[in-house]
Chains A and B, each alone.
Chain A
Amino acid sequence: IAGITQAPTSQILAAGRRMTLRCTQDMRHNAMYWYRQDLGLGLRLIHYSNTAGTTGKGEVPDGYSVSRANTDDFPLTLASAVPSQTSVYFCASSDVASGGTDTQYFGPGTRLTVL
């Protein structure tokens, strides 16, 4: 593995079903993020984690949950999917260090359709 991987690449999901999007990074970055990207809108932050064991809410957290049990993995769960959660989901990570730029690096994305 090099960088960030996401799974699945795409998914069609029935409304009301539970779904977990997976994200794994091998760069030992301390911070990780989940975004959704919708046409005409900027990337919107769903949840983030500054370090393993801690998580925080972003701009659009409702209907989503995350966990950060270790440095590498940051899964995003939709407890009961709704059609408005149809989107492209990107996971990102960054190395937050004093004096650094804290550049975020992105995974390839998961295209989710909720019917």
Chain B
Amino acid sequence: GQNIDQPTEMTATEGAIVQINCTYQTSGFNGLFWYQQHAGEAPTFLSYNVLDGLEEKGRFSSFLSRSKGYSYLLLKELQMKDSASYLCAVREGNYQLIWGAGTKLIIKP
């Protein structure tokens, strides 16, 4: 069956680094997305991986290992505004995404 697992909640300190993991079991794979969602707001796109390896975008990086069904989102130099939920989603076929429940990241001063 389809399954995407992420930790429910994580806590980190301002200025530090945090890694949010996502593991997936799907019948197909055609890309993995990370989205950020602040409380009460819409999800916004962060990153996309379809090939193995690391994609870096400023303070955020995303890694994919297709053979292990595993991805992580790495956030560096954490800021208070990074407090949000981070959603992992896998595209199995052509269009539709399967979503994880999200990881709530709490940043402490």
Inter-chain contact B101/A31, CB cutoff 8 Å = no
Q: Does B44 contact A (CB under 8 A)?
A: yes
Write the chain A residue with the least CB distance to B33.
A103
A114 on interface, CB distance cutoff 8 Å: no
Complex Cα distance A33/B15, Å? 37
| A40-B101, A101-B31 given; A45·B96 CB < 8 A | yes
Chain A interface residues (CB < 8 Å from chain B)? 31, 33, 40-45, 48, 50, 58, 90, 94, 96, 101-109
Q: Are A106 and B43 in contact, CB atoms less than 8 angstroms apart?
A: yes
Q: What is B's interface to A at a CB cutoff of 8 Å?
A: 4, 31, 33, 41-45, 48, 50, 87, 89, 91, 94-102
CB distance from B98 to the nearest CB of A (A): 8
Q: Are A108 and B43 in contact (CB under 8 A)?
A: no
Minimal beta-carbon separation of A91 from chain B (angstroms) = 9
